[in-house]
Amino acid sequence: MKNVLSFVLFLAFIIAMYGFAFASAPVSDPPGKKVFVDSKCQTCHSVTSLGLESKKKKDVSDLSDVGGSLKADFIEKYLLKKEKIEGKAHPSNFKGSEEDLKNLASWLASLKKAK
């Protein structure tokens, strides 16, 4: 009986340590941000709210507040040229995987400026 109790305590201890290690792990960038950087969207766009600068002298469009006007599933279609904004399709067609596109779109949809 005593053995069982110490075993249970031991298990609880391991679980607690595991949770602690997990909770204190460094916060990494969301996957969508990595896709954005890797896909060279910054050739034309910036996200100034996160310090991502565009490589163009004249910025096409800053996406810091894109989540305020567009939803993730619209962004997905728009980046595949299946949707248009004011009659115009996006100039570039997303060529990455479906998973990358989902991560990218949901990350963009989460970008909102504090009002």
> Which residues sit at the interface with ligand HEC, rule CB under 6 A?
36, 39, 41, 43-45, 60-61, 63, 66, 69-70, 75, 79, 85, 90-92, 94, 104, 108
* In the complex, minimum distance from the CB of residue 108 to ligand HEC, in angstroms, rounded to a whole number: 5
Four-point Cα dihedral 79, 36, 100, 18, nearest 10: -150
Name the amino acid, one letter, at 54.
Answer: S
* In the complex, minimum distance from the CB of residue 6 to ligand HEC, in angstroms, rounded to a whole number: 55
42 and 53 Cβ atoms separated by less than 8 Å: yes
CA distances, 56 to each of 40, 46, 59 (Å): 12, 9, 6
Burial classification of residue 76, based on how many CB atoms lie within 10 Å of its CB (0-12 exposed, 13-18 middle, 19 or more buried): buried
Nearer residue to ligand HEC within complex by CB, 15 or 37:
37
Nearer residue to ligand HEC within complex by CB, 79 or 106:
79
Nearer residue to ligand HEC within complex by CB, 16 or 71:
71
* In the complex, minimum distance from the CB of residue 101 to ligand HEC, in angstroms, rounded to a whole number: 9
* In the complex, minimum distance from the CB of residue 19 to ligand HEC, in angstroms, rounded to a whole number: 35
16 and 87 Cβ atoms separated by less than 8 Å: no
